Amino acid sequence: KQEVTQIPAALSVPEGENLVLNCSFTDSAIYNLQWFRQDPGKGLTSLLLIQSSQREQTSGRLNASLDKSSGRSTLYIAASQPGDSATYLCAVRLDSGGSNYKLTFGKGTLLTVNP
Partner 1 sequence: NAGVTQTPKFQVLKTGQSMTLQCAQDMNHNSMYWYRQDPGMGLRLIYYSASEGTTDKGEVPNGYNVSRLNKREFSLRLESAAPSQTSVYFCASSRGVTKGIQTQYFGPGTRLLVL
Where does this chain bind partner 1 (CB under 8 A)? 4, 31-32, 34, 36, 41-46, 49, 89, 91, 93, 99-103, 105-108
- CB 62, min distance to partner 1, A: 16
Task: Between 53 and 69, name the residue whose CB sits nearer to partner 1.
Answer: 53
Pairing of strands 10-14, 109-114: parallel
Q: Give the C-alpha separation, 1 to 80, whole Å.
A: 35
Task: Between 39 and 67, name the residue whose CB sits nearer to partner 1.
Answer: 39
- CB 104, min distance to partner 1, A: 8
Task: Between 13 and 51, name the residue whose CB sits nearer to partner 1.
Answer: 51
Pairing of strands 56-59, 72-77: unpaired
- CB 31, min distance to partner 1, A: 6
Q: Which residues fall within 8 angstroms of residue 109, CB to CB, at 6 or more apart?
A: 6, 7, 8, 9, 10, 11, 21, 22, 87, 88
